[in-house]
Amino acid sequence: MNRGTRIIGWLFTSLTGFACLIIVAMVAVILGNIAIHGVERLSLDFLFRSPESGMTGGGIFPAIFGTAALVILMTIAVIPLGVATAVYMHEYAPKRSRLVHGVRLAVQNLAGVPAIVFGLFGLGFFIEFVGRGIDRVLYGGELVYGQPAILWAALTMALLTLPTVVVSTEEALRAIPQAYREVAFSLGATRWQVLRKVVLPQAVGGILTGGILAISRGAGEVAPIMFTGAAYFLPHLPTRLNDQFMELGYHVYVMTTQSPDVEATKPILYSTVLVLLALTFALNFTAILIRSRIRRRLRAGR
């Protein structure tokens, strides 16, 4: 090897290494900054009290509660729909079917739609069309469902996270050896029995992972719920499906842009972001844990 080649080799090694270093440094700075400033205000009191005096005091409990409620409602909506879609595409539809191709294309495109567009769609479709329609038919035009509400926010969020669930469920189904299905068929199982007794029990880990990833994505998104149900400030917790709610991400957004006293809000803002990040990371971590456990089990099964 001559000197030139060696220098180029060394150069590329350091360049690629440097690129990695930048990413690590960025993450460290962001997380470090948030952690250091956020820890100050963090306390049980902060987690379990409502905001006070124009967001400059108190805690963030309504936002935590609202986030949890939103995420639960979203999961209830997105898991059945996403899993059913994936199961149909992978287990029932004929191979190379046009319909499946179309659905897959739609799912991929859905994944590429900006979150704010989902928000506008939710406003236009769920609130203006579905909600107003319900009001007209059932409540004689009185405003009950035709307004921003946690139900509509959850459904909008479900649409946003649908691709995650569909894709991860499909992957889970693909990971199950075709031979299991053949064996089950050969033992006189019907299509539904094969699905229920062999395929779904094996896929449940992957489906769960998809669900958790969807949740962690949903918990961090603000745009889709901005017009569909999130409230600037609500003293009470949402109790009905057509209530508005507070949400962590939106709370952060509100405190950053709309606070009457930005300086006074800052410590609270840091702590809120810390809580939001911790929540999202914890969910992601759980997903990774489940997935690796499933992989290990599958490997051992071969």
Partner 1 sequence: MNADVRRYDLLQDAGPGSRADGAPFPRPPAASATAPPPPVRLRIEGLRVRGAGGDILKGIDLEAPRGEILAVIGPAGAGKTTFLRCLNRMVDLDPNLAVSGQVRLEGEPLIGRPVDLALLRRRVGMVFSVPIPLPMTIYQNVAFGLAMGGVPRRRHAERVEEALRAAAIWDEVKDRLDLQARRLSGGQQQRLCLARTLALRPDVLLLDEPCSGLDPISTAKIEEALQDLKKDLAVILVTNNVKQASRASDRTAFFLFGEKVEHRPTDALFTTPEDPRTADYISGRFG
If binding is defined by CB under 8 A, does position 175 make contact with partner 1? no
CB of 193 to partner 1, least distance (A): 5
If binding is defined by CB under 8 A, does position 180 make contact with partner 1? yes
Q: Are 157 and 74 in contact (CB under 8 A)?
A: yes
CB of 198 to partner 1, least distance (A): 6
If binding is defined by CB under 8 A, does position 183 make contact with partner 1? yes
> How far, in Å, CA of 289 to CA of 159, rounded?
26
CB of 200 to partner 1, least distance (A): 12
CB of 201 to partner 1, least distance (A): 8
If binding is defined by CB under 8 A, does position 84 make contact with partner 1? no
If binding is defined by CB under 8 A, does position 45 make contact with partner 1? no
Query: How many binding residues for partner 1 (CB under 8 A)?
Result: 21
Residues 226-285 touching partner 1, rule: CB under 8 A, are none
- b (16+ CB within 10 A) / e for 59-96: bbbbbbbbbbbbbebbbebbbeebbebbbebbbeeeee
If binding is defined by CB under 8 A, does position 185 make contact with partner 1? yes
Q: Are 126 and 156 in contact (CB under 8 A)?
A: yes
> How far, in Å, CA of 18 to CA of 6, rounded?
18
CB of 92 to partner 1, least distance (A): 13
Q: Are 192 and 143 in contact (CB under 8 A)?
A: no
Query: Out of 197, 293, 295, 296, which residue is the one contacting partner 1 (CB under 8 A)?
Result: 197
- The first and second tokens of residue 90, run together, are 């992978």
Nearer to partner 1, 114 or 201 (CB): 201
How many Å from the N-terminal Cα to the C-terminal Cα in the chain?
45
CB of 208 to partner 1, least distance (A): 17
Nearer to partner 1, 51 or 205 (CB): 205
If binding is defined by CB under 8 A, does position 198 make contact with partner 1? yes
Pick from 184, 217, 215, 189: which is nearest to 202 by CA? Answer: 184
Query: Out of 81, 189, 277, 290, which residue is the one contacting partner 1 (CB under 8 A)?
Result: 189
CB of 191 to partner 1, least distance (A): 9
Measured from the Cβ of residue 28, the count of other Cβ atoms closer than 10 Å reads 10
> How far, in Å, CA of 204 to CA of 291, rounded?
10
Residue in the structure block whose two tokens are 């236009």: 124
If binding is defined by CB under 8 A, does position 95 make contact with partner 1? yes
Under the rule (CB under 8 A), what is the footprint of partner 1?
94-95, 177, 179-180, 182-190, 193, 197-198, 201-202, 300-301
